């Protein structure tokens, strides 16, 4: 029996979404590295940044799993979480959805027509949360690119949003060496689980321009957890307030690091592209 999928995106960050709950005729979904890569391949497969499976949970409405384009399973995906929340709300007719991920329990609320706010939980700020290979102050770690006496990039902040992020602050995100530096930092020995790499330009007291090299996916049009991490890292450095608009290649997200409970809220659009069946 061919398994149907839904192709969705959040700001161009695109997903193949698969139903894997027990009350469907299709059962569990465990693609494995090679099958995940084949699905994600933009030349020979369906093509996507991540694959998402919505499975059964005894703690909430669903257990949601994410695989990057390289086949590696990851704990969290911000834009994907918005898409899942929207699907669950459409299925129930409610304005709120709760679901489980490997990074913890998440919840989403309607914020407009195909606009969703997801509570991404508390950011991980200790060096063991990222994780780093050695103890460092995650406000600005000892890492630089280029000559010792004149580094091109240096002292990035680190944040875990259920997945590891390093954020460099740059004068101009458009000319930042994302493709050149991204793969080097992603695979740097300081990050035993590899890392996502953000290049953030502070454009005002409530606006950040951000480009992200995603772990296992490369340069994508948007990264939801990356946007959350950039806001948190910037606020910890005193560069911005607790709420800002993040300008990504695919559009804008509103991120708020709520003081009352330390949770990070992400608001942005979702889009349904097409449906099909997996080969």
Active site residues: 77, 223
Q: What is the dihedral of CA 222, 130, 75, 221, to 10 degrees?
A: 10
Tokens representing 253 are 């997200």
Query: How far from the centroid of its chain's Cα atoms is residue 192's Cα?
Result: 19
User: Which of 119, 111, 83 shows the shortest CA–CA distance to 266?
Assistant: 119
Q: State the chain's maximal CA–CA distance in angstroms.
A: 62
Burial of 169 (0-12, 13-18, 19+ CB in 10 A): buried
| CA 135 – CA 255 distance, rounded (Å) | 28
SS3 83: helix
**How many CB atoms neighbour CB 96 within 10 A?**
14
């Amino acid at each position: 029996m061919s398994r149907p999928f839904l192709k969705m995106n959040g700001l161009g960050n695109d997903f193949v979404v698969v139903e894997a709950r027990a009350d469907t005729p299709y059962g569990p979904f465990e693609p494995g590295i090679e099958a995940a890569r084949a699905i994600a391949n933009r030349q020979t497969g369906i093509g996507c940044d991540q694959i998402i499976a919505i499975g059964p949970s005894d703690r909430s409405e669903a257990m949601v799993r994410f695989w990057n384009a390289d086949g590696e399973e990851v704990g969290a995906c911000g834009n994907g979480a918005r898409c899942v929340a929207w699907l669950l709300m459409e299925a129930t007719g409610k304005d709120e959805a709760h679901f489980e991920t490997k990074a913890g329990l998440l919840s989403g609320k309607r914020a407009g027509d195909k606009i969703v706010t997801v509570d991404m939980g508390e950011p991980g700020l200790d060096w063991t949360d990222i994780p780093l290979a050695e103890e460092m102050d995650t406000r600005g770690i000892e890492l630089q690119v280029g000559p010792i006496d004149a580094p091109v990039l240096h002292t990035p902040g680190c944040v875990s949003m259920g997945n590891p992020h390093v954020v460099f602050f740059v004068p101009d995100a458009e000319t930042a060496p994302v493709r050149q530096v991204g793969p080097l930092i992603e695979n740097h020995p300081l990050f035993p689980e590899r890392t996502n790499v953000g290049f953030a330009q502070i454009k005002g007291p409530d606006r950040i321009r951000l480009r992200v090299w995603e772990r296992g996916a490369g340069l994508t049009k948007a990264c939801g957890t990356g946007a959350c991490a950039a806001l948190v890292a910037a606020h910890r450095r005193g560069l911005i307030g607790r709420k800002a608009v993040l300008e990504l290649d695919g559009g804008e997200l509103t991120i708020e690091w709520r003081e009352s409970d330390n949770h990070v809220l992400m608001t942005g659009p979702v889009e349904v592209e097409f449906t099909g069946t997996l080969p």
